[in-house]
Amino acid sequence: MTNAAEVVSIDFAKAGGMVAGIVQDVKSDEVLMLGFLNEESYRRTIETGFVTFWSRTRAKLWMKGETSGNRLRVISASTDCDNDALLFRVEVEGDGLVCHEGTVSCFTKPIEIGSK
Amino acid sequence: MTNAAEVVSIDFAKAGGMVAGIVQDVKSDEVLMLGFLNEESYRRTIETGFVTFWSRTRAKLWMKGETSGNRLRVISASTDCDNDALLFRVEVEGDGLVCHEGTVSCFTKPIEIGSK
């Protein structure tokens, strides 16, 4: 059963009804992607056990991988000290390529740090 | 030297001038916290090599750990396929307790997933 108290504890009001959700592979610990969740997508994620974002560009609910087959099965989830960010530790279904560009993780572009 | 092309490639316009920045421990792979960066804090992060957020609640630049001693030294950084999120892999200085509540990670509150 979903615990209603936990559903409503997230601080959606802080930033226009959305919080950031980090997706991390539960086995490799690799950070796979980041998306945003509004209250409804958060509730769907908890109910279904699959990460469901709110697509800011398309303005609709988006169960990640629903069409590609690479759904993100939530193994564990947590929020932070301010209740304004989410961390989902997941198993990726399908071929495991989370990014629509065909890579395991969306974080593929290195940024050079100037002080090095 | 900072590469200006990489500085400006981040899509700050998408969400009101800010992007989410994930902080991950480079050794343990633990996700430590999430904050937001505007263009100036991003530039400072690249220039100094220490994660510098834009504090939404205080509306000012915030080099994480500057007062506590737990600065986040960036070992590597990347952006994602949409250029609208950042991942910093860091070494934590000081006692390594990133969260102001005295824990290594800010993500300490479990959320129950209903389908389990």
Contacts of A4 (CB under 8 A, 6+ apart): none
Among A22, A81, A99, the residue with its CB nearest the CB of B99 is A81
- What is the arithmetic mean of pLDDT over B67-95? 96
Is the pLDDT at A50 greater than 70? The verdict is yes
Are the beta carbons of B56 and A15 separated by less than 8 Å? yes
Residue of B113, B50, B103 whose CA lies nearest to A72: B113
Going A10 to A87 to A107 to B68, the CA torsion angle's sign is positive
Q: What is the pLDDT at residue B115?
A: 53
Distance of CA A1 to the CA centre of its chain: 21
Q: How confident is the model at residue B15 (pLDDT cuts 50, 70, 90)?
A: confident
Is the pLDDT at A86 greater than 50? The verdict is yes
ipTM for the complex shown: 0.91
Q: What is the pLDDT at residue B16?
A: 86
Model confidence pTM above 0.90: yes
What's the mean pLDDT when you consider all of chain A?
A: 91
Among B34, B98, B103, which would you mutate to test the A interface (most chain A Cβ atoms within 10 Å of its Cβ)? B34
pLDDT digits 0-9 by tens, B23-67: 999 999 999 999 999 999 999 999 999 999 999 888 999 999 999
Residues B42-68 as b/e (b if ≥16 CB within 10 A, e otherwise) read bbbbbebbbbbbbebeeeeebbbbeee
